[in-house]
Structure 1
Amino acid sequence: MKPIKRSRLRLMAGSHYFKLKRRLVWLFGNAKYAVRLEKEELPITTSKHHTPLLRKLKEVDMWLQYNKITNLKIAIQQLDKITIYPGETFSYWKLIGNPTKRKGYVEGMVLFYGGFKPGVGGGLCQLSNLIYWITLHTPLVVTERHRHSYDVFPDANRTQPFGSGATCSYNYLDLQIYNPTDEPYQLVLCMDDAYLYGEWRTTRPPLHTYEVYEKEHRISQEYWGGYVRSNAIYRKMYNLDGTLLADELITKNHALMMYQPFLEAEDMRRVYEH
């Protein structure tokens, strides 16, 4: 997990290579991608969640947060009410497309090799994180998800386990979700002044409920002096009378910590400038 420093040229070359590779997969791969945005909402909500739009983070200018809201509004227009029919695959970036200035996207916060910087379309990870989280509470199958390699900011009022998000970068860090069921699943998204909301809807009441939780959480100091945060995300599945049917490993996370671990409460408040 020791950080690897790469030149700007190496990063650019790698980015172009993986973007081309993704386009070829989209064109010639075997997946049938979801494309239909339905006008009406399906009747049954299977899972939902909401996350705050604004957080005060140390050294992060608030204009980046407000610009993120602009970017989220544009991206939501491409995803709201997208319906995954049986056998189809949802691709986050295939639906949103390249977030460019021409489309109205502005500079938001982009996480970059353990830090952050302004970047056009920045902030869309909040949307992919939300979609990933609500998907874990459905029978849909996540076929592609990328974890965050760096833990940039300390926890503050966290309501989800560490490592339960999905980072994104056009177009090679994608979030893809397959529908193995016999029912369509519809993604419904919206925003108000304070929160981003998301839910999966379908046509029949669900047969199972899900509980997502973490195990094996630890922070370790590495031989080179830095710290690595690790855990495992598990999911329990119950039938409607509460009987446990399965307890499965979803993913394991490892992230380089970019702040001093084991901070006291007062130090945490300073970091978040509350």
Structure 2
Amino acid sequence: MLKFTRYRLKLMLIISLLLGSFLMLGMQKTASSKDEKIFKNIFIQDIDIGGLNLSEAKLKVNQVYEPKTIELKYNDKVWRIYPKDIDLDFNVDNSLEKAYKYTRSEDNLDNIKRIVNLSFAGTYEVNLHSSYDEVKLTEIIDKISEEIDVQVQEATLEIKDSGEIVRTPSKEGIELDVVKLKEEIYNMLAEKQIKNTDLPINIIKPTITTEDVNSIDTILGQYSTGFNDHTSRGSNIHVAGKSSSDRLVMPMDTFSYNKSTGARTWSNGYKSAKVIVGGRYVNGEGGGVCQVSTTIYNAALLAGMEIEEVHNHTYPSRYAPKGRDAAVSYGYTDLKFKNPYSHPVYIKNIVNNGAVTSKIYGCSQDRERIYLKCEEKYEKEKIMVKTYRIYLDEENNKIREELISNNKYKMK
């Protein structure tokens, strides 16, 4: 009997709600939406607007979600992005209209189902949708970036022919992290939570620092060779000497002679002169560049550079001892060596008065006592030469010895 009574009460309640819904739906056709209430248990985001008319609901939502000014700060300066600057809108009116019409659709049966559901503790939530002008936002951020960004300055070093060292200091760069800033603003706008924020800044470290160039204070190794200055070959030596000079090689970086000089073509200033091709002397562009590579190679050996690639000529050279020449051919054979020290080195070539001199400058802490030894052995019509580099202590005692190259020459 008790169950039956409860069933009757529940049925009567549902019927009453249905009748009330029909009555309400009929009234909706004549009442003004301005005064009508949004049905209960309807939310905008997390704000309950049930039982409020549109004006009341808008006021309540705007108290929490009205677009605000974005303040961006760096050091003592503040930039402000006003909602109107980027056409920022949370589209509250659209969301309110959706909430209001949830129980006022064209389908009365759906309306009744929704009313019943909301009446029995059901809820309906409408999310706000942020909209803004992406182009305008980007333009504003770019202008801020122009005010903040400072170009990084690499330290520079120039060693004159006289040996005078001219240095300029390095300077850190400052860069607005545009990607990160945009991401932060996008998240603010998507979540409708505007807040002040510090601008994300990247500090750009120079690759070549003041400390790097200041560490170069002495000559680690040098070597000179002579040539006839009044020939095409001599002209090529001038060109190659200049193009491979004034090169700063950072720690663990590799110097490439071919990369420094470029192709030995007329357009690069080279002339035809005698070169060895296939064991024969012929005229070719760039004759003489091997003398410069050989001069640099000997300076590199004495400076303690780590030799990565070197090739001897077919025949012994007139301008360097056997086992200490460096033949090069653009695109085929190269002279390469690595700077093994924790400080940079600087290659300086001086070409004048029929001599080319290569000096490798570096830090006095890296200076080593080195001498070179070549062992010759004759086999039939060939000369076999082993080249060694020997390191000495302050009392000229041998510390270590390393084999640099195995060389093979034809006898003339």
Normalising by structure 1, what TM-score?
0.69
1:141-186, Cα deviation, whole Å (9 max, x unpaired): 01111122x2267x6xx7x531211100002211111112101111
Partner of 2:80: none
Partner of 1:218: 377
| Aligned mates of 1:37, 1:104 — CA distance in 2 | 27
How big is the shift at 1:139? Answer: 2.3
Asked if 2 retains the 8 angstrom alpha-carbon contact of 1:50 and 1:130, the reply is yes
| Aligned mates of 1:37, 1:129 — CA distance in 2 | 27
Say which of 109, 129, 143 aligns to 2:308. 143
**CA pair 243-152 structure 1, distance change in 2 beyond 3 A:** closer
Q: SS of 2:364's equivalent?
A: coil
Partner of 1:94: 259
How big is the shift at 1:240? Answer: 2.5
Q: Does 1:122 align with 2:287?
A: yes
Percent identity of equivalent pairs: 23
Correspondence list, 1:184-263, <5 A? 184-215=344-375, 217-221=376-380, 227-257=381-411, 259=412
| Aligned mates of 2:284, 2:342 — CA distance in 1 | 40
| Aligned mates of 1:87, 1:247 — CA distance in 2 | 21
Asked if 1 retains the 8 angstrom alpha-carbon contact of 2:253 and 2:338, the reply is yes
Q: SS of 1:146's equivalent?
A: coil
Q: Show structure 1 runs of 4+ deviating over 6 A.
A: none
Q: Does 1:80 align with 2:80?
A: no
| Aligned mates of 1:188, 1:140 — CA distance in 2 | 15
How big is the shift at 1:191? Answer: 1.3
Asked if 1 retains the 8 angstrom alpha-carbon contact of 2:373 and 2:389, the reply is yes
How big is the shift at 1:194? Answer: 2.0
Greater relative CO (CA pairs within 8 A, separation 6+): 1
Asked if 1 retains the 8 angstrom alpha-carbon contact of 2:275 and 2:288, the reply is yes
Stretches of structure 2 that go unaligned for 5 or more consecutive residues are 1-154, 160-164, 166-215
Asked if 1 retains the 8 angstrom alpha-carbon contact of 2:222 and 2:303, the reply is no
Stretches of structure 1 that go unaligned for 5 or more consecutive residues are 1-35, 55-62, 222-226, 260-274
1:80-112, Cα deviation, whole Å (9 max, x unpaired): 110111121101111111111112211111111
| Aligned mates of 2:387, 2:257 — CA distance in 1 | 22
Q: CA RMSD in A?
A: 2.1
1:54-105, Cα deviation, whole Å (9 max, x unpaired): 3xxxxxxxx9x71112112222222211011112110111111111111221
**CA pair 242-172 structure 1, distance change in 2 beyond 3 A:** same
Q: Does 1:169 align with 2:329?
A: yes
Q: Considering only CA atoms, is the larger Rg found in Structure 1 or Structure 2?
A: 2
How big is the shift at 1:37? Answer: 8.0
Q: How many residues align?
A: 203
Whose strand proportion is higher, 1 or 2?
1
1:185-239, Cα deviation, whole Å (9 max, x unpaired): 1111011122111111013244421110112x12222xxxxx1111211121012
Residue type at the aligned position of 1:151? Y
Structure 1 window deviating more from structure 2 (229-238 vs 71-80): it is 71-80
Asked if 2 retains the 8 angstrom alpha-carbon contact of 1:190 and 1:197, the reply is yes
Residue type at the aligned position of 2:324? S
Q: Does 1:181 align with 2:341?
A: yes
